[in-house]
């Protein structure tokens, strides 16, 4: 392992389920902790500070204004603004921010906070979905399908104003890995901005090693660091059944562990989040255990 790697990790839990509008994913942080996260990282030589969970208040599904369909907008904005400040503080102290969720809407706050400390931030979005919907394109109004668009500066003003009020990232520094369910409006969004999307077809055809090599070449090119955002639904439901929006035909556990190992070897990841673990849909906490396995691989654990 690289002796110069940041050995200080701060864990932040965000029990957010409002972005998915489905109960259960709020218990994700607890499930990941119960699967042995802190113990595994400490065994690898990391100094881990778990700062517990942010408060997420239950709210009625009331849109912010008559012209928007965004569910739970105000509370999601409040939590992500707090998360932005907390993540920013962790990064400012020289520690590695590791955020565990919770639904994927929390990526809005994570990216807003991390981007304050990097002039140019690359992003690898490991997910079956594009997450670039806006109020105009979303079929559901669920904000967990919008965080990448918000980070790129597109979306409701209350969301895009979190943090500096500027786009946290640039499209040329973003890569999506594992896509197999992209809405029509998202396809147009991604093509217009030239965002590189590695679908399951390309993973099958090229192999995960080649895909991650290309993904790193994009996300790490002329950037100061890479943020990794992992939605557990990127994996096939046979490996990660405890997610809210499973889609068949996903990435295998072995491929995912290889992806994390390659990211670890590249030593460019400066922050990460693992989201969408829903224990109410899981089997013996297997999805949370997979999350811990992948986190451990990202932080340098090897089979031999």
pLDDT tens digits for range 140-198: 999 999 999 999 999 999 999 999 888 999 999 999 999 999 999 999 999 999 999 99
Model confidence at 242, in pLDDT bands (50, 70, 90)? very high
Report if residue 1 sits inside a domain.
no
Q: Is the pLDDT of residue 63 over 80?
A: no
Is residue 2 included in any domain, yes or no?
A: no
The pLDDT value recorded for residue 303 is 86
pLDDT attached to residue 304: 85
Average pLDDT over residues 5-23: 95
CATH code (residue 184)? 3.40.800.10
Decide if pLDDT at 260 tops 80.
Answer: yes
Annotated active-site positions, please?
Answer: 104, 127, 129, 131, 144, 231, 233, 276
**Gap between the Cα atoms of 182 and 130, Å rounded:** 6
Average pLDDT, whole number, for the chain? 95
pTM of the complete model: 0.96
Residue 212 in tokens: 């991650």
Q: What is the span of the domain harbouring residue 42? A: 8-298
Residue 41 located in a structural domain: yes
Domain count, the chain: 1
On whether residue 133 sits in a domain, the answer given is yes
Domain presence at residue 304: no
Sheet holding 269-275, edge to edge: 47-53, 8-14, 96-101, 269-275, 225-231, 121-126, 174-179, 196-199
The pLDDT of residue 60 is 72
The mean pLDDT of 255-267, rounded to a whole number, is 98
| Domain contains 303 | no
d(CA 61, CA 54): 20
Secondary structure (DSSP) of 263-281: HHHHT-EEEEEEE---GGG
pLDDT tens across 107-119, in order? Answer: 999 999 999 999 8
The pLDDT value given to residue 25:
97
What is the per-residue pLDDT for 64?
A: 60
């Amino acid at each position: 392992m690289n002796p110069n790697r940041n050995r200080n990790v701060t864990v932040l839990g965000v029990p957010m389920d409002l972005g998915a509008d489905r109960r259960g994913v709020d218990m994700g942080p607890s499930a990941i902790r119960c699967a042995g996260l802190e113990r595994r990282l400490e065994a690898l030589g990391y100094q881990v500070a778990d700062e517990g969970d942010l408060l997420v208040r239950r709210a009625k599904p009331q849109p912010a204004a008559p012209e928007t369909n965004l569910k739970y907008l105000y509370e999601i904005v409040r939590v992500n603004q707090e998360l932005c400040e907390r993540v920013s503080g962790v990064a400012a102290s020289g520690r590695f921010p590791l955020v565990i969720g919770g639904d994927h809407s929390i990526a809005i706050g994570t990216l807003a906070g991390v981007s304050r400390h990097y002039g140019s931030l690359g992003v690898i979005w490991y997910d079956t979905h594009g997450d670039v919907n806006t109020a105009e394109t979303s079929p559901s109004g669920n904000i967990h399908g919008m965080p990448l668009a918000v980070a790129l500066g597109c979306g409701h003003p209350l969301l895009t104003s979190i943090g500096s009020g500027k786009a946290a990232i640039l499209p040329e520094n973003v890569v999506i890995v594992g896509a197999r369910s992209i809405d029509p409006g998202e396809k147009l969004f991604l093509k217009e901005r030239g965002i590189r999307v590695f679908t399951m077809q390309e993973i099958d055809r090229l192999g995960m090693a080649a895909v991650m090599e290309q993904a790193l070449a994009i996300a790490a090119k002329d950037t100061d660091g890479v943020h990794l955002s992992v939605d557990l639904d990127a994996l096939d439901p046979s490996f990660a059944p405890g997610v809210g929006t499973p889609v068949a035909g996903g990435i295998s556990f072995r491929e995912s562990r290889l992806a994390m190992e390659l990211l670890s070897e590249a030593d460019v990841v400066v922050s990460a989040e693992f989201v969408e673990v829903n224990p109410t849909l899981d089997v013996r906490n297997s999805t949370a255990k997979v999350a811990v396995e992948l986190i451990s691989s990202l932080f340098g654990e090897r089979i031999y």
